[in-house]
Amino acid sequence: MVAIASPRIKRIQRNSVALLVVCAALNYIDRSTLAIANPLIRKDLGLSIADMGLLLSAFLWAYAAFQLPAGALVDRFGSRRMLGLGIFVWSLAQALGGMVGNFWQFTGARVFLGLGESPQFSALVSVVRDWYNVKERGLPTGIALCGSKLGPAIAPPLLTILMLTFSWRWMFAIMGVVGIAVAILWYVVYREPRDVDLTEDERNYLVEGETSQVDDRVTWADWKQLFAYRATWGMVLGFFGEVYMGWLYQAWLPGYLEIERHMSIPKTGWVASIPFACGVFGSIGAGWFADRLAARGTSPVNSCKIPAVMGLTGMAVFTIVAALIPSTFWAVVAISTALAFNGMAGAMCWALASVIAPRHCTASLGSIQNCGGYIGGALAPTITGFIVQDTGSFVPALLFSAALGLTCALIYVFMVPGKPIDVTAFGEKRAIA
């Protein structure tokens, strides 16, 4: 008999995913503040375009570096504590960003923003792993990850209004206060499965169909063992391109519209939200598609891998279109389509971690993948800034991004197998220990 979610489990699922959407949206709104205020900050602090590229990358390098310990900490101490603490830290850093007076002070605030945000998505995938059956994780992951597209869609109009009404400094401070409130909400409402008195049927539902049902806390030996698998390296290298392409737009879309397409700041605030809104539909649609594949007999791993590859390929193709088309209207349409595919790829790359990793290492593998991704993300603003400064155009930067995306789609195809990581070695390590 196939286990099904009880009414209580379904209620926890709905509440958890709703909170994850809010947290992910806030995460990306806070990341967007520097990009939205780009022209005013450059003027006030006397920064060049290349300086701004370095500043945009400061957050990303810190975020990438803290990914490795963040995932292991989430697996060890749980999503409730680590995500709650993370939101509080990044919100405090966001508020401090409104008080800086020079490049290096701003760099410090952005580094702490990266530190605080580092548990966000490893906690997200861990929550989905904890509360959903292995064959039902595509859609909830897609919905939860849609916050990462909803945030950038909301950010341009919201942050532009705050910036023009108050100032860019007050914009940072206001978002910091909002974030602290969200941190408190998450910690008060969310509970780990170990904190809920589950029935036998409920426990069976959560683990049925998994090749590994180990639910111990992750050990140092377990974490190191993940690096012995080709799948891990395929996910790291493949996600590099997904995040690089996403962060080119995340960091530079407002600047692209103003510099390359000659839009005003108020108009950019609204137009820049459209492509990211399309990413919401890409993320949710990919989750629905993955669960349909699984329901029709495709392995849980391949049901996530297939739409991930489709997303990377689609984003690369439409980025090429955006780079070469002369019409501003059709360029925005192409970018919107590219970011819909980006939402598809991003959601399914994270869903892949929830079905390919041993149960007790889900957040660890997700964060290892994300570390590779955000090395790409950290390079994207800097490389783009220098290319634009040297060539006077965004076209070469967009074409380079597309070529990288196609390469990384092939990496997922050939380096990530269609089955979960073999847990035998993990059992042997534990037996020896």
Q: What average pLDDT does the structure give for the chain?
A: 86
186-216: burial string, b at 16+ Cβ within 10 Å, e else: beeebeebeeeebeeebeebbeeebebebee
Share of the chain above pLDDT 90, in %: 34
Which tens digits make up the pLDDT trace of 94-131?
999 888 888 888 889 999 999 999 999 889 988 988 88
For the beta carbon of residue 245, count every other beta carbon within 10 angstroms.
Answer: 29
3-state secondary structure the chain: CCCCCCHHHHHHHHHHHHHHHHHHHHHHHHHHHHHHCHHHHHHHHCCCHHHHHHHHHHHHHHHHHHHHHHHHHHHHHCHHHHHHHHHHHHHHHHHHHCCCCCHHHHHHHHHHHHHHHCCHHHHHHHHHHHHCCHHHCHHHHHHHHCHHHHHHHHHHHHHHHHHHHCCHHHHHHHHHHHHHHHHHHHHHHCCCHHHCCCCHHHHHHHHCCCCCCCCCCCCHHHHHHHHHCHHHHHHHHHHHHHHHHHHHHHHHHHHHHHHCCCCCHHHHHHHCHHHHHHHHHHHHHHHHHHHHHHHCCCCHHHHHHHHHHHHHHHHHHHHHHHHHCCCHHHHHHHHHHHHHHHHHHHHHHHHHHHHHCCHHHHHHHHHHHHHHHHHHHHHHHHHHHHHHHHHCCCHHHHHHHHHHHHHHHHHHHHHCCCCCCCCHHHHHHHHHC
* Spatial contact of 206 and 193, defined as CB atoms under 8 Å apart: yes
Which tens digits make up the pLDDT trace of 273-304?
788 888 888 888 888 998 889 888 888 889 98
The structure tokens 């780009």 sit at: 38
Q: What is the mean pLDDT of residues 390-409?
A: 92
User: Does residue 423 have a pLDDT over 70?
Assistant: no
Which tens digits make up the pLDDT trace of 244-257?
998 888 778 877 88
Task: Report residue 409 as tokens.
Answer: 């789609």
CATH for 7-432, among 1.20.1250.20, 1.10.540.10, 1.10.10.10, 3.30.360.10? 1.20.1250.20
User: Does residue 318 have a pLDDT over 60?
Assistant: yes
Which tens digits make up the pLDDT trace of 67-88?
888 888 888 888 999 999 999 9
* pLDDT value of position 1: 45
Instruction: Give CA–CA dist 420/424, Å, rounded.
Output: 12
CA angle 313, 318, 322 (to 5 degrees): 150
Cα→Cα distances 351→126, 141, 152, 164, 395, Å: 10, 6, 21, 38, 32
Q: What is the mean pLDDT of residues 166-188?
A: 94
Write down the pTM of the prediction: 0.77
Instruction: Give CA–CA dist 86/113, Å, rounded.
Output: 9
* pLDDT value of position 430: 46
User: In the Cβ-directed half-sphere of 77, how many Cα atoms lie within 13 Å?
Assistant: 14
Q: What is the mean pLDDT of residues 348-361?
A: 82
Instruction: Give CA–CA dist 151/144, Å, rounded.
Output: 12
Instruction: Give CA–CA dist 84/187, Å, rounded.
Output: 6
Share of the chain above pLDDT 70, in %: 94
Cα→Cα distances 235→92, 283, 350, 391, 404, Å: 32, 18, 10, 33, 15
Q: Where are the domains of the chain?
A: 7-432
